[in-house]
Amino acid sequence: MINVAFILGSLAFAEIYGEESLYAVAADGRVLAAPCTPTKLRLAPPPWLRDVEVLFSGWDGPRLDAEMLARMPRLRAVLYGAGSIRTIATDACWDRDIVFSSAAALNALPVVEFTLGAILLSFKRVWHHARHVREQRAYDPLRPLPASTGAGATIGLFSLGLIGRGVAERLRALDVTVLAHDPTLPPETFAEIGARPVTLEALFARSDIVSLHTPLLESTRGIVDRRLLDRMKPNATFINTARGGILRQDDLIDFLAARPDVQAILDVTEPEPPPRESQLYDLPNVALTPHIAGSVGPECRRLGRAMVGEFHRYARGEPLRYAVTRQQHACMA
C-alpha cells in the first residue's frame, strides 16, 4: 500500500476531493491525513510526514520548498487537483525528481466556456444594450441599433495555452477570423489551431474582441498598457479571465473612462477584489465577476476525480495522463 496524504485548505479539500476520494484511494493507498492544512504543518510538523509517498493537494496547498521536502524524504509524487502548480512547486522539487500531475487541463474547460459565452454575447453588444435599457427604463424596438459583430468578427487571443487553444478550437465552428499572439509557438502551430499569428499591437488594433489568456510571468506583468489599449477598435470588447497583473489596472481604468464605447469583462483584477474605492465598480462599461471562470461548485469534483485516477495509474506504474514537466511549469500562470 502507498502512503498518501491530503494537504491543502479545509475548504479546498471539501470542494475538490471530499469523502468520496478517500474511499476511492483506499484500493491502492493508506491515507495518513485528510486533510491537513499547510498552517498546521508549519506550526507542528507531524511525524507521519516522513512516510508520505504521494501528496494530494490543491488550492491553499503547501509550498514545497527545501525545508518542507526535508520533512518528506519519501515523497515521490504530487497530485494537484487544481490549475497551475506555481504556488507549490519549487526548484527543490524538480531537483529531487518528484513527479507532478495537475488538473489544469480540466480546470481550463470552464474558463473556455466562460470566455466563449462572453464572446457570443459580445457579438450582440449585450452589455451595451442592457445598460441602455436600464438607464432609459424603456426601449424603442424600431430604433436603429449599432451593427453586431457576429458574422465576420475578428477575435484576438493573447496566448494559446490550454485555455487560448480551447477557445480557438470552439471558434472554428463560427464565421469569424481568429488572430493570436504567442511568441512561444512556431508558425505551424497557429495553422493547426486555425489562428493567424500577429504582433500584440496588431492584435489590439484589428480585433473586435480581445481576450487575454497569457500566464502572469515577469515578462508579462503589466504588458497590457494604455499604449495597447488605445489601439482598440470602436465598440470593441476586452475580456480578461487570465490574471489581473497582466495589465496595468490604472491604465485600464483611465482608458475605459475615456472610451465608453469599449466594454470590459473582467473576471480577474489586481488586487482581487479591487479596493472599495476603485472606479471599476462605477464605470458603466465594466462587467466585474468574482473570479468564477475557473472551476466552482460541482465542477471542482471533476478535478479531484482526475487526480484519484492519476493515483491509480501511479500505483500501477503507468504513465500519468496529466503530468507536468519542469519546462511546462515554467510557462504556467
pLDDT (0 to 100) of residue 67: 92
pLDDT band with cut points at 50, 70 and 90 for residue 24: very high
pLDDT exceeds 80 at position 150: no
pLDDT exceeds 70 at position 148: no
Q: Would you say 32 and 5 are in contact if contact means Cβ atoms under 8 Å apart? A: yes
pLDDT exceeds 90 at position 131: no
pLDDT (0 to 100) of residue 316: 96
Q: Of 135-149, 195-209, 210-224, 298-312, which range is least confident?
A: 135-149
- In the residue annotation, 218 being an active-site residue is answered as no
Q: Show the domains of the chain with their CATH numbers.
A: 2-102+297-330 (3.40.50.720), 107-288 (3.40.50.720)
pLDDT exceeds 90 at position 190: yes
Query: What is each CA distance from 91 to 49, 147, 160, 218, 253, in whole angstroms?
Result: 20, 52, 25, 17, 37
- Percent of the chain residues past pLDDT 90, beyond the cut: 83
pLDDT (0 to 100) of residue 262: 96
pLDDT exceeds 70 at position 145: no
pLDDT exceeds 70 at position 66: yes
List b or e across 115-134, with b for residues whose CB sees 16 or more CB atoms inside 10 angstroms. bbebbebbbebbbbeebeee
pLDDT (0 to 100) of residue 129: 85
**What does the block give as the cell for 209?**
474582441
Rounded Cα–Cα distance for residues 127 and 51 (Å):
55
- In the residue annotation, 243 being an active-site residue is answered as yes
pLDDT (0 to 100) of residue 79: 98
pLDDT (0 to 100) of residue 331: 72
Please state the pTM of the whole predicted model: 0.91
Average pLDDT value for residue range 80-85: 94
Mean pLDDT of the chain: 93
pLDDT (0 to 100) of residue 204: 98
Rounded Cα–Cα distance for residues 333 and 316 (Å):
31
- Catalytic choice (129, 272, 321, 326): 272
Backbone angles phi, psi at 325, to 5 degrees: -90, 170
Average pLDDT value for residue range 144-171: 88
Rounded Cα–Cα distance for residues 78 and 101 (Å):
6
The three-state (H, E, C) secondary structure of the chain, written as one string: CEEEEEECCHHHHHHHCHHHHHHHHCCCEEEEEEEECHHHHHHCCCHHHHHCCEEEECCCCCCCCHHHHHCCCCCCEEEECCCCCCCCCCHHHHHCCCEEEECHHHHHHHHHHHHHHHHHHHHCCHHHHHHHHHHHCCCCCCCCCCCCCCCCCEEEEECCCHHHHHHHHHHCCCCCEEEEECCCCCHHHHHHHCCEECCHHHHHHHCCEEEECCCCCCCCCCCECHHHHCCCCCCCEEEECCCHHHECHHHHHHHHHHCCCCEEEECCCCCCCCCCCCHHHCCCCEEECCCCCCCCCCHHHHHHHHHHHHHHHHHCCCCCCCEECHHHHHCCC
- In the residue annotation, 302 being an active-site residue is answered as no
Q: How crowded is residue 90: how many other Cβ atoms within 10 Å of its Cβ?
A: 15
pLDDT (0 to 100) of residue 134: 87
Beta bridge partner(s), residue 7:
36
pLDDT band with cut points at 50, 70 and 90 for residue 214: very high
The dihedral formed by the CA atoms of 295, 300, 306 and 312, expressed in degrees to the nearest 10: 150
Amino acid letter, 303: L
pLDDT (0 to 100) of residue 144: 60
pLDDT exceeds 80 at position 149: no
Average pLDDT value for residue range 38-67: 92
Q: In sequence order, which residues have a C-beta less than 8 Å from that of residue 260 and are 6 or more positions away?
A: 284, 285
Amino acid letter, 311: F
- Catalytic choice (96, 170, 291, 302): 291
pLDDT exceeds 90 at position 201: yes
Average pLDDT value for residue range 248-270: 97
Average pLDDT value for residue range 66-93: 95
Rounded Cα–Cα distance for residues 60 and 14 (Å):
12
pLDDT (0 to 100) of residue 226: 97
- Percent of the chain residues past pLDDT 70, beyond the cut: 97
Beta bridge partner(s), residue 196:
179
- Catalytic choice (165, 213, 243, 305): 243
pLDDT exceeds 80 at position 333: no
Cα–Cα nearest to 61, from 47, 48, 80: 80
Query: What is each CA distance from 244 to 148, 267, 287, 333, in whole angstroms?
Result: 28, 9, 14, 11
